[in-house]
Structure 1
Amino acid sequence: MSTPDKILESILEQATKNLNTPVISDPAIRFRVEYVCRLVSNRACARLLMACLLAKIDRPDVDPRKPYTAIGDPDAFSGRSYDEKFITRFIYENRLPLNSTTAFLTPAFRNLDKPLTTDLELVGRPRRVYKETLQLLDDVYQSKITAEELLTEVIRILLLMRQENEARIHSLLAGFSSDDSLPLSSEEIVSLIEQHLKCKNSSRLPVLIVAAAYNAIGKKLGEYVLPLQSHNAADQQTGSLGDVEICLENDSHVVTVYEMKTKQVTIDDINRALEKIASAKNRIHNYIFITTDVVSDEVKSYAAGCYEKTYGTEIAVLDCIGFLRHFLHFFHRSRAAFLDAYQYLVLNEPDSAVSRPLKEVFLALRQSAEADRE
């Protein structure tokens, strides 16, 4: 008997072989699945579909509209289990343009105890994507299409999207100037990054800015960055002290912690940092807040007064662009290395952390900035 992993492998092979040929003949169903899969603003519905369809193929007796054991019916199942155990790894291994976390934790699909029937009103945007998703599940239930056919079509479209995304990135990369051209100045790089930060859904970027800075000059400092945690993982879940953790060379003890904020840092934020510092197994030398908002004098003063309280740990609150500007001028000869390191991190983040449009915007901004140098 095929396992869910084997089922996915088989369907992936079939979708790859027929990448440019739709599996579904019914135009209405084909249009519906295309819409759900290609909607960039909502990736949860496509992922939920994959989990429900995989369950139906693995266990033909289940109702694909009942992915909640709380329903209590014999034909109900745990869609979240299929999602987390099988879909997560499949998405990651094949670099599919979907969220890295389960669809069953999104507000519309969380904690339900009723079937996902077409008359169910789910709260989310856009409303149409939820209606189309429920209709696709009903199409399978009504035997208008098999679960295997629909899942194959979903994966085929996602593979096409991956191919299209990669082609756009390669096209933008090909437009960069030659290596022998004059590199961007520190202030030009600051301007470029500042424009990128102003884009929509850019909350992950300050983390990448700080990490790129250490990746560019870490060897000179004798320090290195620990692997970044997922953008939506809480520090309590991961055991991390902050968003970016710095260690000394040949040592695994964290000595500098960066915590990123897209709003003003408050005294309460600093007090929580003091609790982390007190509970740390090893002494933290610096705990630095990086914010994209203004820094009040009251907060600066309170942070400065924490040195004696912590017996030697410095707490500082810096604005993101100010940090970047000082870094680039202080390590002026490493400015090109920083920009390359930042680009690498941006392009290699999951799309759920740094969206595909945000990646493309950065490349377009850099291409334009470097073209102006010629």
Structure 2
Amino acid sequence: MSKESKNKLAYSDKLQEIYQKAMNIYSKKSKLPNFNEETTQELDEIVFRADNAKGVFAVLTTLLVHKSLMPQQDIRYYQTKFDNGFSGRTIDTKFITPFLKSISFPAPSTSGWLTRTLESSQPYMLDYKPAISPKTLKSAFLNLIDKVQNYDLNSQEALVYIFALLVEKREEERLDNLANPHNLPISDIILLLETHFNYSYEGGGSGASRLPVLAIYSAYQCMMNQVKRYEDKILCELENHTSADTRSGSVGDVEIDEQDGSAFEGVEIKHNIEVTREIIEIAYDKFKSQQTKRYYILTTANMDRADWNVLNKEIRRISKIHGCQLIVNGVYSTLKYYLRLLDDTSEFIENYVENIKNDSAVKYQHRKAWNDIVSRLSNE
């Protein structure tokens, strides 16, 4: 394993550990860490300002995570140009900000260190000169770093506290009353989904690629009880959006298993990405060791420009080697076909609404967009 892979695993595991502790606090399985009044107020300030000061939040998260992994590191020296410094920006860009986005926490576009107020020629001492606004946030930010470095404030417990409050805030923002239209024609359902997938989400729409996965999964939830092919088969629970299939052991985004646990059918879903031979090869690596009967690679992208001669050649090659029926198709055309198989398409809508309500990768803006789109369609 490369050094970068080991680092990614270390930061990923630590973030997941901290996040899980925060989730346990939210579900009342454990209690919120206890600090003195001053420190509690400083941590609360970070949480309160997180949405409008994403850079400060990402930087502090990076420093606290790094300190928990490297206790001997003085986290005030966040650049390699400092004596005994380290590259906080690299760690943030590669590991921290992507994770914050994946759990729908406030996050900058790529790194918290994009602003001059956070990346200067000075370490984060109490007399740090650049103007972080407001002053209460600057004071909280620098004091917490100082306490971690000089007064044995536990960096991991501090971050558990911050994460726990952000989880509570995030859950409060979830929309409980999602629109659930019934008796729509299939054409309107497809229009709703296509508009939802491609909505102009703030910040580039991180998490929108999960929506086509949830739509296909919702269709399978219906078909498991209505289509003879899936009689006695098991629809596996969806993996976490941040889990790599190769690491989780799943053959794709959606997996249907035999009763003995072996893979029966798999689906890999791409959002606005054209299917290429390389994508087919990567998918084959996931299922080649199993006796998968059928495997779909679906995309929301327009496949008119695809080189079907190359794709079909690769599909035939895999079929000869493995015996799996490999199918490349569009998400929308596949959903149209699946919906025609159902006794009542309202069940599909109910499943999709429930899935976007509860999936951790789906954010408040995706849920709000769904309500807005349904409302607009009903008024046309």
Note the 1:122-161 alignment, pairs <5 A: 136-141=140-145
Moved more, 41-50 or 302-311: 41-50
How many angstroms apart in 2 are the aligned matches of 1:150 and 1:37?
A: 21
What's the secondary structure of 2:41's corresponding residue?
coil
Question: Match for residue 183 of structure 1?
Answer: 183
In the TM superposition, residue 40 of structure 1 has moved relative to its aligned partner by: 6.6
Contact kept in structure 1, 2:54 and 2:112, CA below 8 Å: no
Contact kept in structure 2, 1:289 and 1:318, CA below 8 Å: yes
2:336 aligned with 1:322: no
- TM-score scaled to structure 1, two decimals? 0.62
In the TM superposition, residue 38 of structure 1 has moved relative to its aligned partner by: 5.4
Question: Match for residue 294 of structure 1?
Answer: 302
2:266 aligned with 1:265: no
Contact kept in structure 2, 1:328 and 1:335, CA below 8 Å: yes
What's the secondary structure of 2:296's corresponding residue?
strand
How many angstroms apart in 2 are the aligned matches of 1:257 and 1:284?
A: 7
2:211 aligned with 1:205: yes
In the TM superposition, residue 197 of structure 1 has moved relative to its aligned partner by: 0.5
- TM-score scaled to structure 2, two decimals? 0.61
Note the 1:303-322 alignment, pairs <5 A: 303-305=311-313, 306-307=315-316, 309-311=318-320, 312-322=323-333
Equivalent residue for 1:215, pick from 199, 206, 221: 221
Matched pairs, number: 317
What's the secondary structure of 1:139's corresponding residue?
helix
How many angstroms apart in 2 are the aligned matches of 1:171 and 1:339?
A: 16
Q: Which runs of 5+ in 1 are unaligned?
A: 74-79, 110-115
Question: Match for residue 354 of structure 2?
Answer: 344
In the TM superposition, residue 196 of structure 1 has moved relative to its aligned partner by: 0.7
In the TM superposition, residue 259 of structure 1 has moved relative to its aligned partner by: 1.6
CA RMSD of aligned residues (A): 5.3
Amino acid at match of 2:214: L
Q: Which runs of 5+ in 2 are unaligned?
A: 1-16, 85-90, 125-130
Contact kept in structure 2, 1:172 and 1:364, CA below 8 Å: no
Question: Match for residue 242 of structure 1?
Answer: 252
How many angstroms apart in 2 are the aligned matches of 1:42 and 1:337?
A: 44
In the TM superposition, residue 72 of structure 1 has moved relative to its aligned partner by: 9.5
Amino acid at match of 1:207: V
Contact kept in structure 2, 1:32 and 1:132, CA below 8 Å: no
In the TM superposition, residue 316 of structure 1 has moved relative to its aligned partner by: 1.9
Contact kept in structure 1, 2:295 and 2:324, CA below 8 Å: yes
Question: Match for residue 47 of structure 1?
Answer: 61
How many angstroms apart in 1 are the aligned matches of 2:119 and 2:306?
A: 54
Question: Match for residue 77 of structure 1?
Answer: none
What's the secondary structure of 2:190's corresponding residue?
helix
In the TM superposition, residue 233 of structure 1 has moved relative to its aligned partner by: 3.1
How many angstroms apart in 1 are the aligned matches of 2:56 and 2:195?
A: 25
How many angstroms apart in 2 are the aligned matches of 1:226 and 1:99?
A: 30
Contact kept in structure 2, 1:235 and 1:242, CA below 8 Å: yes
Contact kept in structure 1, 2:44 and 2:162, CA below 8 Å: no
How many angstroms apart in 2 are the aligned matches of 1:240 and 1:335?
A: 28
Q: Percent identity between the aligned chains?
A: 19
**CA-to-partner distance for each residue in 1:225-267, whole Å, 9 max, x for gaps?**
323223233333333332222223x231112222222311112
2:191 aligned with 1:196: no
Contact kept in structure 2, 1:53 and 1:148, CA below 8 Å: no
Equivalent residue for 2:41, pick from 13, 24, 36: 24
What's the secondary structure of 1:228's corresponding residue?
coil
How many angstroms apart in 2 are the aligned matches of 1:40 and 1:347?
A: 24
Distance 1:142 1:265, change over 3 A: closer
Question: Match for residue 98 of structure 1?
Answer: 105
2:355 aligned with 1:335: no
Contact kept in structure 1, 2:32 and 2:164, CA below 8 Å: no
